[in-house]
Amino acid sequence: MHNYVIGLDGGGTKTDGVLVGQDGRVLARRCVGASNPNDVGEEASAAVVRALAEVLATEAGVPLADCFVFGGISGALNHREGLTARLRSTVPAPGGVEIDSDMVNLLSAELPDRDGACIICGTGSACFVRRGQEVFRIGGWGYLLDSAGSGYDIGRQALEAALRAQDGRGCPTALSAKLADALGAPVQDSLTRLYAEGKTLIASLSPAVFAAAREGDAVARAILDRNAAALAELLCAAWHRLCEGMPEDTRPTGMPVFLDGGICRHNHPAWRDAIASHIPPDVPAALSLASRPVIWGAAAEAMRRDGWTPDTIRHAGSVFLADPHISG
């Protein structure tokens, strides 16, 4: 067990990091650029993680070799071994560096010592399930294959509906005007930009769909209903994975589910309620918005993997979360 941990939460825009002592005090915190290996490449991702760990140790005035480093990095699922190997060869904390998905941060923040699930709905979407010490992924296999319930899928379906309305193949919809306002031009005149800027631009159009739905547009409401149903399907699969192999009389009586990501946060509680409306009665999922900062989840996961006792982690958490400078 190391004297300190470094917890990192990395994504396609930024990478947040903290260095924490065994008493739970935050000794250093910094935020730097993107570290998603699918966006910046594996070598650059490792370089960002390494540099941030070094900066945190220097700022805290502790040797990096006294720190266990855990990075929950978006896009890292298929790069865990490569990133970990690169870091272990250069970070002076032999065996004290591990990389995993950023969803592990959310699970550790909200479900540190109990089973349950987390769903994230932002540009993309995914569901992760914690069962004991195991973590399972359900859905969210990338925008080309599986991103139902995400900002990208909502935006893409809205663009399709507007073009179908333009052609006379679909119903007239307020989405045509909403999307034109968001893009600065009608959809049919924005194709070059849409194909050039891709998923980020398309996902950024999702607020227009929620706005049109709130104003009663039937097409927008149908799009949101389909995507909410798709997320409920993830939760049904999560429940079955959680109960897999258990006799019926030993199954848990409920499954806590925490929601995070821009789609969930900007449309709460309506989006939560829309998902819940599609969950069948035999799946006892209790949905709520994630409330703990994911950077605490990164630190807590570092502590758990480094062998800190549950009591030590709980005490550290009470100190960490009481820090007025920790907000997300």
Q: Between residues 8 and 327, which one has the greater pLDDT?
A: 8
- For the record, the structure tokens of 157 come out as 């379906």
269 cis-preceded (ω within 30 degrees of 0): yes
Q: What percent of the chain has pLDDT over 90?
A: 71
Closest alpha carbon to 158 in 106, 202, 94, 108: 202
How large is the angle between the packed helices 42-60 and 80-88, nearest 10 degrees? 50
pLDDT tens digits, one per residue of 294-312: 999 999 999 999 999 989 9
- Binned at pLDDT 50, 70 and 90, residue 327 comes out as low
pLDDT of residue 328: 55
pLDDT of residue 89: 79
Stretch among 75-84, 178-187, 246-255 having the lowest mean pLDDT: 75-84
Q: Between residues 78 and 221, which one has the greater pLDDT?
A: 221
- Binned at pLDDT 50, 70 and 90, residue 276 comes out as very high
- Binned at pLDDT 50, 70 and 90, residue 239 comes out as very high
pLDDT of residue 88: 82
Whole-model pTM: value is: 0.83
Q: What is the mean pLDDT of the chain?
A: 92
pLDDT tens digits, one per residue of 43-61: 999 999 999 999 999 999 9
CB 260 within 8 A of CB 118: yes
**So what's the architecture of 4-101+292-322 in CATH?**
2-Layer Sandwich (3.30)
Q: Is the pLDDT of residue 325 over 70?
A: yes
pLDDT of residue 115: 93
Say whether domain 114-290 belongs to CATH 3.90.1170.50.
no
- For the record, the structure tokens of 91 come out as 């970070």
Q: Region 282-304: what's the mean pLDDT?
A: 94
Q: CA–CA separation, 170 vs 248, rounded Å? A: 47
pLDDT tens digits, one per residue of 91-148: 765 558 999 988 899 999 999 888 999 998 988 888 999 998 888 889 988 888 888 8
203 C-beta neighbours (distance < 10 Å), count: 23
pLDDT of residue 94: 54
pLDDT tens digits, one per residue of 190-220: 999 999 999 889 999 999 999 999 999 999 9
pLDDT of residue 95: 56
Q: How many residues does this entry show for the chain?
A: 328
Antiparallel, parallel or unpaired: β 125-131 and 67-73:
unpaired
pLDDT of residue 140: 83
pLDDT of residue 32: 94
Could you tell me where in the chain the CATH 3.30.420.40 domains are found? 4-101+292-322, 114-290
pLDDT tens digits, one per residue of 67-79: 999 999 988 878 8
Half-sphere exposure of 241 (CA within 13 A, CB side): 21
